[in-house]
Amino acid sequence: MKNFGFTISTGRSINLDEIREENISKLLEMVPSYKWCIGCGGCTATCSAGAFTNFNIRKIHNSFVRGQYQGLDKELQQCMLCGKCLLVCPRGVNTRSLIVNMRRILAGVEANTFKGKEVIQ
Amino acid sequence: MEKRFWNEYQKEIADDHYFYERSCIRQTFFPGSEAAFLRILRDELGKDICDNPHQHTCTGIGYHSDVVPFETTMTVVARLFSLMTECGYENYVPSCVTSFGVFSEVLEKWEHNPALMDQARQYLWEATKREFKTPKNIVHPSDVIYKFRFELKPRMKYQLINRYTGQPLRVVEHIGCHYAKIFPDRGIGKAEFPYVLAGMIEAWGGTVIDYPERRHCCGFGFRQYLIQENRGYSIANTKKKFQSMEPYEPDFILTNCPGCNMFLDKWQYTIAEMEHKTYDKEGYGIPVLTYEELTGLLLGYDPWTLGLQLHQVQCEPLLNKIGIVYKPDEKYKGISGRLLPRPERPECLRQD
Ligand code: SF4
Ligand code: SF4
């Protein structure tokens, strides 16, 4: 292929049909506090992993609820589970639990195994 | 009957005595278009149109790329108006949608803030000792062709009918963002129901394809294009349009603006080169015509005089579909009658 010095950018449109609602309800069942998230990005701003890599926790949970699952499982592996984000969240979202449970859902682990409790605090 | 909303909005288009302003890029990429427009107006319609040799850029590309400040643009526009005034004309016809947008913007600003117009008068006087009047009527050349589309029809040799099937040709039209999206009331049918090109297509026998991304940008976007690294955004827009129109199998694309024409035509080659994909079935690409070229073709003008050989996507399959008679061996003949060197053929786009 000729090198034109640029490539064709891919679209950033969100296809609502790709959202799997059962994933969102599973996540909310496992981490009820996620309902309070206002998307402020405090978690991302304080994240040590994000300071050194392009890891972005707000972007990840946003992508999850928008049905943009591609590559998320790999991205989530960059989290060290240190819990700093949990300390700064102004809405009291249990972000660490959010991360662990997003990993579980993406790995296909059933929600009712953990029913009723926010696993991994 | 289906309600045609565009009918509710028509704009005023002067009848005769036009001052023509040429486009910068059209002269380079689609050089037969403007000559065809002048010929159509003078020879077919018997109108008076002034083609002044002292004209120059409107600064549009520089202005929309943020390299030319508004004061400069205003002064350059004032000089063009001064040429019109000097020649004794009042109806301004800029041969480019970008210019049309720039003039509309300058006039709108002057109307709301007369101090700006005084400033432009002063700058122009200091720089050139010239004076100007603002035009009474400012329209795009496609508006003029649209206005006289039914007068032109009986003079036409061909119609937009597929001679193999007898069906109307299926046409994608693209009016360009700066035609009606900046000031909707300056475009026929406003921005939502653009009818300037659709009106020509329907009057001359074709059908218009109403596809999902019909109103999406062609991808030019000025600043996005000028920096090489950013061109991925530009081409992504064009690709989005092609993907959206592909299932409707258009016979050709008709454009209003020199920039749109260039991008919809030339990006087809780039996408084919990068992704081995064309958006027609046979691998030729979808031909892209300017409205002057289309009008000229239907009137029976020679396709090579119209400059169709200079398009990226070659037009022979379309000419054959309409039944237009042309001489293949004269495709690369210069005005002097001497054969010019043939351009290189891309491997990724089919050509006969
Ligand atoms: S800090 Fe809390 S509220 Fe803000 S985006 Fe992160 S999880 Fe949501
Ligand atoms: S728990 Fe993960 S996401 Fe939160 S601050 Fe630590 S590394 Fe970042």
Q: How confident is the model at residue A121 (pLDDT cuts 50, 70, 90)?
A: very low
Asked if B321 and B172 sit in the same domain, the reply is: yes
Bridge partners (DSSP) of residue B256 are none
Asked whether the beta carbons of B137 and B145 are under 8 A apart, the reply is no
pLDDT of residue B311: 94
Indicate yes or no: CB of B275 within 8 angstroms of CB of A8.
yes
Q: Which residues contact B46 (CB under 8 A, 6 or more apart)?
A: none
Where are any strands of DSSP class E within B18-104?
18-21, 49-51, 91-94
B324 shares a domain with B229: yes
A16's tokens: 């609502």
Q: What is each CA distance from B277 to A21, B246, B271, in whole angstroms? A: 35, 11, 6
The four Cα atoms B20, B24, B29, B33 give a dihedral, to 10 degrees, of 0
Q: Does residue B104 lie within any of the structural domains?
A: yes
Q: Which residue of B has its CA nearest to A8?
A: B232
Instruction: Give the closest-approach CA distance of B112 to chain A in angstroms.
Output: 38
Give nearest CA residue, ligand 2 atom 2.
A79
Residue B346 lies in a domain: no
Amino acid A118: pLDDT: 47
Rounded to the nearest angstrom, the gap between the alpha carbon of residue A55 and the centroid of all alpha carbons in its chain is 10
Contacts of B229 in chain A (CB under 8 A): 5-6
Q: State in Å: Cα A55 to ligand 1 middle.
A: 15
What CATH code is carried by the domain that includes residue A31?
1.10.1060.10
A87 Cβ inside 6 Å of ligand 2: no
What does the CA dihedral B63, B68, B69, B73 come to, rounded to 10 degrees?
-70
Structure tokens at B65: 């790329």
- CATH number of the domain to which B45 belongs: 1.20.1050.140
Structural domain including B40 reads 16-141
Query: In this structure, are B162 and B33 located in the same domain?
Result: no
A1 by Cβ neighbours in 10 Å (0-12 / 13-18 / 19+) ranks as exposed
User: What percentage of chain B carries pLDDT values higher than 70?
Assistant: 98
| pLDDT score of B165 more than 70 | yes
- Residue in A34, A84, A94, A103 to alter for ligand 2 test, most ligand atoms within 8 A of Cβ: A84
Q: What is the distance of C-alpha B214 from the center of its chain?
A: 16
Assess whether B110 and B156 both reside in one domain. Answer: no
Q: How far is CA B178 from CA B75, B141, B209, in A?
A: 20, 14, 21
Note the pLDDT of residue A111.
44
- The CA B217 to ligand 1 mean position distance, Å, reads 36
Region of residue B324 (phi > 0: left; psi between -120 and 50: alpha; otherwise: beta): beta
Residue A72 domain flag: yes
Is residue B32 domain-shared with residue B79, that is, in the same domain? yes
Number of folded domains that form chain B: 2
CA–CA separation, A115 vs B157, rounded Å? 76
Q: At what angle do helices B97-112 and B258-275 cross, to 10 degrees?
A: 130
B322 located within any domain: yes
Q: Is the pLDDT of residue B345 over 80?
A: yes
Judge whether B352 lies within some domain.
Answer: no
Sheet of B252-255, strand order: B207-208, B170-174, B252-255, B288-290
Whether residues B42 and B131 share a domain: the answer is yes
Q: Which residue of B has its CA nearest to A3?
A: B274
Q: Is residue B11 part of a domain?
A: no
Query: Is residue A9 domain-resident?
Result: no
pLDDT of res. B2: 59
Is B275 near chain A, with CB under 8 Å? yes
Per-residue pLDDT, averaged over B13-42, amounts to: 93
Q: Give the residue from B108, B141, B174 where a domain finishes.
A: B141
Range of the domain at A83: 17-113
Pair B92, B189 in one domain: no
> How does strand B49-51 pair with strand B137-138?
unpaired
pLDDT, tens digit, 9 for 90 and up, residues A24-55: 999 999 999 999 999 999 999 999 999 988 99
pLDDT above 60 (res B243): yes
